[in-house]
Amino acid sequence: KIKACIFDLDGVIVDTAVYHYKAWKRLANELGFDFTEEDNEKLKGVSRVASLNLILQWGDLSKTDAEKEELATRKNNWYVEMINKMTPDEVLPGAKEFVESCENAGIKTALGSASKNSRTILEKVGIAHLFDVVIDGNKVSKPKPDPEVFLKGAEELGIAPENCVVFEDAIAGVEAAINGGMKVVGIGSPDVLGKANLVINGLNEMSLEKLNKL
């Protein structure tokens, strides 16, 4: 029986994936190369440092740790500039409604995101109050596909992993949920997220009925 829903943030609750993409692309372009939207899929759900390492690999560049820190900060500054302008209408269709319907049905809710910017985003779009627990990039050390972020969420909610469902748009996130022994609903394309128990286009297609059938 499902007792808790754990939501990824970027690409599930809000469409910040496009802002991450824009900022990383700008950084790559400044370094003299580019990467495709297909490559961008590999960055979803992946921590800031790990994303930078992948991008540098694609550009065939090697950097010192100090240089990497400067590059990651440069990207984050552009990203923060974009998220600071976010408004409540940027919550993805059906997301707020579905989280609310969980709460009304007595199902606990948590946020499970790798992002260190989660708090800012939740506050900008006005939904921080909707989650019983928030686990973000400041609270975890092992990046998805390690299940740490979701297991911490389940633990803080006091719900066993097998009674949790994770909502994820990233391959690494779907794998993290499976690695944690949880059910998972993929948000996006079945071609990419095939390992999930169910794949939908967005939370507007989710319902308590579908939740109970997982």
- Shortest Cβ 152–Mg ion spacing (Å): 17
Is residue 48 at the binding interface for ligand G6P, with CB under 6 A as the rule? yes
- The residue whose two tokens read 């079945």 is 190
Is residue 135 at the binding interface for ligand G6P, with CB under 6 A as the rule? no
| Binding region for Mg ion (CB under 5 A) out of 7-15, 98-106, 129-137, 195-203 | 7-15
Look at residues 87, 63, 88, 89 and name the one whose alpha carbon lies nearest to residue 75.
63
Query: CB–CB of 99/127 below 8 Å?
Result: yes
Site for ligand G6P in 2-21 (CB under 6 A): 10, 20
Six token digits for residue 15: 């469409």
Query: CB–CB of 46/16 below 8 Å?
Result: no
What string marks each residue from 157 to 176 as x (binds Mg ion by CB under 5 A) or -?
Answer: ------------xx------
Q: Give the number of residues written for the chain.
A: 214
Six token digits for residue 91: 């919550």
| Binding region for ligand G6P (CB under 6 A) out of 27-35, 39-47, 85-93, 176-184 | 39-47
Decide: helix, strand or coil at residue 70: helix
Site for ligand G6P in 150-209 (CB under 6 A): 170
Is 26 annotated in some ligand binding site? no
Gap between the Cα atoms of 50 and 145, Å rounded: 12
Residues engaged in binding Mg ion (CB under 5 A): 8, 10-11, 45, 169-170
Annotated binding site for substrate: 8-10, 24, 43-48, 51, 75, 113-117, 144
